[in-house]
């Protein structure tokens, strides 16, 4: 039998971000990275005009847009993986393919 004064505090059943907060953070992150990729594209085009530069950074920009849409539709984990792997691939392609 429980006594009124002997109640234990309820453990926090939810720790971390709410799904809505996670979506907003990923949308903002993808938007910031999209702007950063656009700036890098302009800088790279100023130093060397190449179709390959436009292809690599254009693909990274499209990827950021896809991640924003995935996050808007609740696919935040998939969007996070795509953003991380896609931008790593774009940077690797820049390092390996572009002069």
pLDDT of residue 35: 95
Calpha distance 10→79 (Å, rounded): 34
Calpha distance 47→68 (Å, rounded): 29
Categorize the per-residue pLDDT at 31 as very low, low, confident or very high, splitting at 50, 70 and 90: very high
Give the pair of three-digit tokens for residue 28.
């903002």
Its pTM surpasses 0.75? no
Q: What is the DSSP track for the chain?
A: ---TT-PPPPP-S--S--HHHHHHHHHHHHHHHHHHHHHHHHHHHHH---HHHHHHHHHHHHHHHHHHHHHHTT-HHHHHHHHHHHHHHHHHHHHHH--
Residue 1 predicted with pLDDT over 60: no
Residue 93 predicted with pLDDT over 70: yes
pLDDT tens per residue across span 36-90 = 999 988 998 888 778 888 888 899 999 999 999 988 888 888 888 998 999 899 8
pLDDT tens per residue across span 15-30 = 788 888 888 998 999 9
Helix axes 19-47, 76-97, angle to 10 degrees: 20
pLDDT of residue 49: 79
């Amino acid at each position: 039998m429980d006594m009124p004064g002997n109640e234990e505090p309820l453990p926090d059943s939810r720790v971390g971000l709410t799904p809505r907060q996670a979506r907003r953070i990923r949308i903002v992150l993808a938007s910031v990275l999209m702007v950063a990729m656009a700036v890098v594209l302009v800088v790279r085009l100023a130093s060397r005009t190449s179709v390959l530069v436009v292809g690599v950074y254009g693909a990274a920009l499209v990827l950021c847009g896809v991640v924003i849409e995935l996050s808007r539709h609740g696919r935040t984990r998939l969007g996070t993986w795509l953003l991380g792997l896609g931008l790593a691939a774009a940077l690797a392609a820049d390092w390996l393919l572009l002069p």
